[in-house]
Amino acid sequence: MKNNKNLSNWLNEMGLTHPLVIAGPCSAESEEQVLNIAHQLKKTDATVFRAGIWKPRTRPGNFEGVGEIGLKWLKKVKEKTGMLTATEVANPTHVELALRNDIDILWIGARSTVSPFIVQEIAEALKGTHKIVLVKNPVNPDLALWLGAVERLHTSNIKKLGVIHRGFSTYEKTKYRNNPEWQIPIDLQNQFPDLPLILDPSHIAGRRDIIFDLCQTALDLNFDGLMIETHHEPDNAWSDAKQQITPAILKKITGDLRIRKEEGDAIEYQIKLDSLRSRINSIDHKLTEILGKRMQIADEIGTLKKNSNVAILQNKRWNEILEKMVLEGKDNKLSEEFVLKIYKAIHQESINHQKRIVNK
């Protein structure tokens, strides 16, 4: 594909495929595992092999990566398959070892991007490197922090820079492991259209069944590549087992993705339309989810009213809500008529929910 984005960057210059597909296990586990997966990936659209060598684990006591020896295995992957190799670096020692072992792409993980001190140390260790450096978004939804990390690397004279969108952590449980918050990468792309933007659907999803949809959304939003965790036996993976897919599934996913190859007015229109529609879909998804949550609270109020033998309809409270929402609606350029219609429908649904509980 390339579409309305002018790729005057290193992706183009290096003749890399578009979209760039980076795949491989969450963690390197053994030489056999790494080589086995790499040979299977050779038959897919993946051109870069990823594997974590040093793993940032939330709780101690879990598998924390094989360490330096894994870099030799990645070197072997390159020799045997010709794929480029990629791994995460989280401190200057990692950088030195990765560079010494000729790793092609070094990425900074989400837990490192949050720390300007760590990013600065990594940037200094990488000074002037010709290797590709990719920056994952910080775990918290903060565009300035993400861009700050990119700036620190840019200041270190690193030319082949890119970013990876891996979603943002929330305390609330949703269908995602990390919320995509698409508006953040969209804003980033608007400010820096030439900075390659790669989606990591694996860490956003935390599961296998929504990886395809995430990838399609990203392509519709003009992302430049995908980084997908891939394992020969996902269920037995030593880390992130639930989200990894087999090379065969990866092949199916990238084969089914709608990727446009031509330029032209009609295509441009379609791409822009798809991009806007993806944003609408993501907002609709949130709207429905939030309405569902509102109704769960209405259910709890229903139980409370039932236990205290109080009537469901409380006119005073209802009129207060309406007044407040009409005012907030104005601030958001929504007509009074529309706000009243929506809130009456929401209120009715709340009453139905509470009725069901009270009359149970």
Residues within the interface to ligand PEP (CB under 6 A): 26, 52, 56, 109-111, 136, 166, 203
Q: Which is nearer to ligand PEP, 201 or 247 (CB)?
A: 201
Neighbour tally for 319: CB within 10 Å: 10
Q: Which is nearer to Mn ion, 178 or 222 (CB)?
A: 178
Least distance (Å) from ligand PEP to the CB of residue 57? 9
Least distance (Å) from ligand PEP to the CB of residue 190? 23
Query: Could you tell me if 121 and 91 are in contact, meaning their C-beta atoms sit under 8 angstroms apart?
Result: yes
By CB under 5 A, tell whether 240 contacts Mn ion. yes
By CB under 5 A, tell whether 121 contacts Mn ion. no
C-alpha–C-alpha distance, residues 200 and 206, integer Å: 11
Query: Could you tell me if 179 and 201 are in contact, meaning their C-beta atoms sit under 8 angstroms apart?
Result: no
C-alpha–C-alpha distance, residues 203 and 17, integer Å: 23
3-class DSSP string for 149-172: HHHHHHHCCCCCEEEEECCECCCC
C-alpha–C-alpha distance, residues 111 and 118, integer Å: 10
Least distance (Å) from ligand PEP to the CB of residue 342? 37
Q: Which is nearer to Mn ion, 201 or 302 (CB)?
A: 201
Q: Which is nearer to ligand PEP, 52 or 196 (CB)?
A: 52
Q: Which is nearer to ligand PEP, 203 or 353 (CB)?
A: 203
Q: Which does 56 bind (CB under 5 to 8 A by kind): ligand PEP, Mn ion, none?
A: ligand PEP
Least distance (Å) from ligand PEP to the CB of residue 26? 5
Q: Which is nearer to ligand PEP, 52 or 180 (CB)?
A: 52
Strands 225-229 and 197-199, by their bridges, are parallel
Least distance (Å) from ligand PEP to the CB of residue 186? 19
Q: Which is nearer to Mn ion, 26 or 163 (CB)?
A: 26
What is residue 238's three-state secondary structure? coil
**Who contacts 70 (Cβ-Cβ below 8 Å, separation ≥6)?**
28, 34, 51, 53, 87
| Helix, strand, coil percentages for the chain (3-state, nearest 5) | 50, 10, 35
Give the bridge partners for 226, in sequence order: 21, 199
Q: Which is nearer to Mn ion, 105 or 312 (CB)?
A: 105
Q: Which residue is closest to ligand PEP by CB?
A: 109
What is residue 58's three-state secondary structure? coil
Q: Which does 138 bind (CB under 5 to 8 A by kind): Mn ion, ligand PEP, none?
A: none
Query: Which one, of 165, 149, 150, lies nearest residue 198 by Cα?
Result: 165
Q: Which of residues 299-328 bind Mn ion (CB under 5 A)?
A: none
Q: Provide the mask over 6-45, with x wherever binding to Mn ion is found by CB under 5 A and - wherever it is not.
A: --------------------x-------------------
Least distance (Å) from ligand PEP to the CB of residue 263? 33
The stretch near Mn ion (CB under 5 A) out of 41-49, 142-150, 238-246, 302-310 is 238-246
Least distance (Å) from Mn ion to the CB of residue 205? 11
Query: Which one, of 255, 220, 248, lies nearest residue 233 by Cα?
Result: 248
DSSP states of 253-266: HHHHS------SHH
Q: Provide the mask over 198-237, with x wherever binding to Mn ion is found by CB under 5 A and - wherever it is not.
A: ----------------------------------------
What tokens appear for 126 in the block?
A: 């990488």
Find tokens 């309305």 and name the residue.
4
Q: Which is nearer to ligand PEP, 136 or 232 (CB)?
A: 136
C-alpha–C-alpha distance, residues 126 and 92, integer Å: 8
What is residue 106's three-state secondary structure? strand
Least distance (Å) from Mn ion to the CB of residue 138? 16
Least distance (Å) from ligand PEP to the CB of residue 332? 33
The residues of the shown chain that bind Mn ion, judged by CB under 5 A, are 26, 240
